[in-house]
Structures are given as structure tokens and as C-alpha cells.
Structure 1
Amino acid sequence: MTSWSIRPAARSISRRLRRAAEALDGFASDGPSSLPAAAALDNYVEGPPSAQNAVDALQGWNMALPPEVGVTAGAGAFYADPRILWALDEFGPLEGRKVLELGPLEASHTYMIEQRRPASLLAVEANRLSFLRCLVVKELLDLKIARFELGNFAPWLETTGRRFDLIVASGVLYHMANPIRLLELLSLRADSVYLWTHYASDEAMPPGDPRRMAFVGEAEVCETHGVSVRCRKRSYWGAWKNSSFCGGLYDLHRWIEKDDILTLLGALGFDDVRTAHDEPDHHNGPAFSIFARRSR
């Protein structure tokens, strides 16, 4: 009884399979061009693998990659940034040294640092999209030393206990809600630091200067380490809604007066402080480079 009850179902399945095979034979006889066109699903790439595909997988690029990579990304050619070259020359040879980079953005400076062959290079980025772009650059530029971690470096610096020979913090200080505390933490984790930062200045940005429009409220003064540190609070005014945003974690952040940055670094034990690239007319606000070292 059981064998007889299966046979009709088996015959039905056989007929369906035969009809399907005949339909495929029909397509095959007309050639592949007769197959219906299909649109690729949104998260797939139809074309062959390429470096440009990897770049295009993420929106909002700010930085370009070296020409030999053959891709179009952002506009800023920071893979040969003279500010980083100056900082690395001021520090000296990196072989055997441990380097920490804060806010790598899209790994342009990471690439430059790795070329000096440090023993280790850790880059900490809080922006998810920027972190993913760093991983794309790591692959395309074949970075072997650099490691990237996703997260807020401020609480990590509070607790890590790790020390580095050099900390690179380019484009970071002026995005901090508490830039004074960041300088204190840098002094605890390294004897040499490089900063490129904007700074507050009534002289460079007098009342009426449009670059002051982001300021919020009155100037603030904080007494710390025997130094009166003057700050100006700012807002991004919604710029963070754009995928290319590369600011800090919080909307309200502070710029420190230029002289107060230098004085505070001295109070924190950096007795060799050098400056370069001072641009009081920078379109986003006055900015400069600082290399600070604590001599032994």
C-alpha cells in the first residue's frame, strides 16, 4: 500500500522537473542574451573587483589617496602633509618606537607615520564611518604596522596605563568638549606630542569676523596647574548631519587661546615646545602646529 501511494506524487514531481528542464533548454537554444535582465540587489557590486569599488562602498570621503592607487575619493591630499613631515623630523627616527595617533580620520597621516617604520602604531577613531574608511585605506595602501580601534580615546586615555614614545593628535584638540583634560592626559601617556589645532584669538578674529559665528556664549577661564586658560565654546550648528562630518563626539566643544596652550604645555612638563604653520587667516579659524617634548 505504501509503495503505491508514493507513485502518483513521484510522477507529478517528475513532470514538473521535466517542464523546468524544457524551459531552460529553450533559453539555452536562443543563447545567453535571451535570459531576462536582472538588476543587482542594492548592497551588491555587479562589476569586477576594484579599488574604486572599495572606496565607493562608503560615502563622505574627505581625503584623497596617493595617485598610484588610482581611485577618486576626497579632495585633501594629506598623504603628503608637510605638517606631519615637520613633526616626524622634529621627533627623529621612529624605528623601535611606539606611536599613538588620535583621530586618524581616513588614515592619510597614519600612512605617512607607517613609512617611518615604528615598532607599533595604534590609531583610535570614534567616528564609525571614518573608522571604516581607515580600514579601506589600510587595505588599499597595504598598511602592515598600523592597527585601528573604534572608540572614544578620552576615557581610554584615562584608564589605559599604556605609554607611547610619540602621540600624534592632528585636528583633535579643538574638537574636544574638555581640551584642557586632553592635554593633561597626553602629558601622562607620552614625553613627545604633536598637535595641529585651531585656537581662539580676538586679535586674529576680531568682532565681526564671520569665523566667530560658531562661538556660543562668553569666553571662559579655567585655573589649572597655575595657568589661567581662556576658552571659547563653539557649536557645529548641525554640520554633523553630513556623512563627511569629521568633528568631535559632542556638539559643544572649546577652542583655547594660543598662548594658553603653550603655557599649559610648559606647566605639564614639556620643556621643549616648538611651533610652526601658524595661519591666523585660516578659513576655518586661526591654527598652528605644536611639537612638544619632555626632555630627560
Structure 2
Amino acid sequence: MKLNKDDWDRGDKRYLREIAELSFDNVRWSRKRILETRDFLSPWNHNIELPHKIFTAFCDDYYPSHKEMMRIINHQLQGDFKGKRILDIGCLEGYFSAECALQGATVVGVEGKLINIKKCEFIKSVLGIKNVKFVRDDAMKITKSKYGSFDVVLALGILYHLDNPLRFLSNLSKLCDGFILIDTHVALRDQTTLGESWKPHLSELREFRFGNRTYLGRSYREFPSDATQLSKDLSTTASLKNDQSAWLTEDSLITLLRDVGFEQISKIVFPEREDVWWSDIGADGRVLLLAVKKRAPFKSRIHRKGSRRKRR
């Protein structure tokens, strides 16, 4: 029997209802139960080691890019996560949130997709993590008044799914007391494919005007204009609602970060031979940026304020 669209929609809605009804409170996790729940929630994008030598993504190693980002966070914190508040925006399936919490930080992971938030709750329950809280919310609605202040903000793989990066980063600037780590695609001058085969639906280079500021980039089509919210809810690695997102050029993104109040922006680079997402920007169009909110004050011992040297 051939299924029509209505049949598929009913099946998808039933699947989402079953996901929504999942509860992991006070569960005693056996190997069998972990495997059944992991498989029900599959496929996975984060590879997380669970008890009984079970991995979420069916391979027994961490992804190199994920490992590299954790090393950067660890280095910035000088290996001391205790007492730090970390905000993980678009936390997907919870790897970074869980890792930071297990290192000793107090973590808030924010994720908009129902399927993803249930994966996060599953990870939290199976690993028995107490100092992480997962919240289902829209990244564009994250504010200091709602969530408080944080020492570290993670915006990993989220910025290129948003249609107003200025408002998003302006909100983060207000709640970030330390640094923000950003992993994102950027618009290139000559851009047709990314990686080996992905051809993202990108516009010509254009100007984006946010408030009274203008930045250069490309529009990226997340969904067809007639996409239903159901199809968006099932697309776990796409935008939450918007049909198009804004990909800024690298220079415009750095300018924007300065405009919203980050005093120092560093680009973390890698040789092309290394197997990470940022080793070849020309091929992958992806950058890893570290933005520091406040630099330590500097007082020159040569150029003293108000002093003038007499010419001889």
C-alpha cells in the first residue's frame, strides 16, 4: 500500500507525541533500556559515551572538531570549570553541556527542537548529571533578564541558522561576562559548494540592514517557502522557524561582534592537513572565533596620558 502525504503527517505527529511523552526522571538504566532508548531517539549527531561501553553514534571515538572545541574552552578556563556558569545555545544533543557539567561547571543548555531536548534529557539522566539544566526555548529569546549572567557562552553551529545575528549577539553581549566561542559558517566571496558535495541554497552577496547598521553576507534558505511547521520540527539540525538565515562574511561578523561590545575577537586556525571543520575555509566556509567581552586594562609606560615631549 502506498502512503500519501496525510498518512506520513499522521505518522510524524504520532512520533513527536511519543517523543514528548518520554520522561527520564528516576529511571534505573539497564544496558537493554539504554540501547532501546538510544535507538528510538536515533540518529545522533553527538557521539557520547554512555555506561556499558555504549556510544550514541555507534562509533567508539569523539569527533575531532568536538574534541578541539572542548580543548579551547578548557584552555581559556585554565582547566578550572568549578564555579563557572556556562550557557550552551543550540545545544543539540547535549555533548558540550554534559562535558562542561562533568568538568564541574554549572550549565544551562538551551535547545529549540523537541527531539533534541529529549536527547539531552536522556543523556543527563543516563550519566546522572545534576549540575546541568536543559531548557526548550528559542535562541532569539535568550536574554540576561531571563537567564542571568554567564562566564562562558557557547554558540556552536547555531549562528548560521538565525535571521538576525545582530539581535542575537547583542543579547549575548549583555549576559556574557567572560568569553563566547562561536563555530559558524560564513559567506565567502566565491561560494558554490561546501565540503565535498553540499551545495547550500545561498543568495548573491547582499547587504543586511539590522537597525541602523549594515553588514555584508548571503541569505541561506533553510526550508522551502511552503514548508510546514511539522517538517521544521522534524528537521533537527535546521532553523527553528525562519525559512531563511543570514550568513555574514567573516569581516562583517567580526565587525558585528565589535559593534555589540566584544573587545577582542580571535580567529582560531588550523593547518589544512588537520581533520577539523576550520582547516580549509575556502572549501568549508567555516570559522571558529573566540570573542572576549572585556580585555584587561592597559596603561602605557611610554605614552603617558596628557604628557607632551618637547622637540629638540
Alpha-carbon separation, structure 2, partners of 1:279 and 1:98: 30
SS of 2:262's equivalent? Answer: coil
How far is the alpha carbon of 1:150 from its aligned partner?
1.1
Q: How does 1:225-264 map to 2 (within 5 A)?
A: 228-237=214-223, 243=234, 245-249=236-240, 250-264=242-256
How far is the alpha carbon of 1:281 from its aligned partner?
4.7
The equivalent of 1:22 in structure 2 is: none
Paired residues, what number?
249
Alpha-carbon separation, structure 2, partners of 1:67 and 1:134: 13
Q: 1:208 to 1:255 in 2, by over 3 A?
A: closer
Q: Is the CA contact 1:214–1:234 (under 8 Å) kept in the aligned structure 2?
A: yes
SS of 2:222's equivalent? Answer: coil
Alpha-carbon separation, structure 1, partners of 2:194 and 2:140: 34
Normalising by structure 1, what TM-score? 0.72
Q: 1:256 to 1:211 in 2, by over 3 A?
A: farther
Alpha-carbon separation, structure 2, partners of 1:78 and 1:142: 23
Q: How does 1:54-69 map to 2 (within 5 A)?
A: 54-66=37-49, 69=52
How far is the alpha carbon of 1:190 from its aligned partner?
0.6
The equivalent of 1:265 in structure 2 is: 257
Q: 1:218 to 1:256 in 2, by over 3 A?
A: closer
Which residue type is aligned with residue 103 of structure 1? G
Alpha-carbon separation, structure 1, partners of 2:194 and 2:118: 39
Q: How does 1:158-197 map to 2 (within 5 A)?
A: 159-160=145-146, 162-191=148-177, 192-197=179-184
Q: 1:292 to 1:55 in 2, by over 3 A?
A: same
- Could you give the per-residue CA deviations for residues 244-269 of structure 1, whole angstroms, max 9, x where no partner exists? 63121122111111111112212222
2:268 to 255, 272, 276: 276
How far is the alpha carbon of 1:64 from its aligned partner?
2.0
1:110 to 93, 97, 102: 97
Alpha-carbon separation, structure 1, partners of 2:63 and 2:49: 9
SS of 1:165's equivalent? Answer: strand
How far is the alpha carbon of 1:82 from its aligned partner?
0.9
Q: 1:89 to 1:207 in 2, by over 3 A?
A: closer
- Could you give the per-residue CA deviations for residues 132-168 of structure 1, whole angstroms, max 9, x where no partner exists? 0001111222222111011213223275262111111
Q: Is the CA contact 2:217–2:247 (under 8 Å) kept in the aligned structure 1?
A: yes
How far is the alpha carbon of 1:176 from its aligned partner?
0.5
Question: Once superposed, what is the RMSD of the aligned Cα atoms?
Answer: 3.4
Larger Rg: 1
1:52 to 35, 40, 58: 35
Higher helix share: 1
- Could you give the per-residue CA deviations for residues 177-228 of structure 1, whole angstroms, max 9, x where no partner exists? 111211111111113211111111114x269997554114652232667x64
- Consecutive aligned runs of 4 or more in structure 1 exceeding 6 Å deviation: 207-210
SS of 1:53's equivalent? Answer: helix
Q: 1:207 to 1:73 in 2, by over 3 A?
A: closer
Task: State which drifts further: 157-166 or 50-59.
Answer: 157-166
SS of 1:132's equivalent? Answer: helix
Q: Is the CA contact 2:50–2:127 (under 8 Å) kept in the aligned structure 1?
A: no
- Could you give the per-residue CA deviations for residues 33-67 of structure 1, whole angstroms, max 9, x where no partner exists? xxxxxxxxx99xxx984311221232332222227
- The sequence identity of aligned pairs, in percent, is 19
SS of 2:288's equivalent? Answer: strand
Which residue type is aligned with residue 46 of structure 2? M
The equivalent of 2:288 in structure 1 is: 289
Q: 1:144 to 1:97 in 2, by over 3 A?
A: same
The equivalent of 2:13 in structure 1 is: none
Q: Is the CA contact 1:102–1:172 (under 8 Å) kept in the aligned structure 2?
A: yes
Q: 1:87 to 1:242 in 2, by over 3 A?
A: same
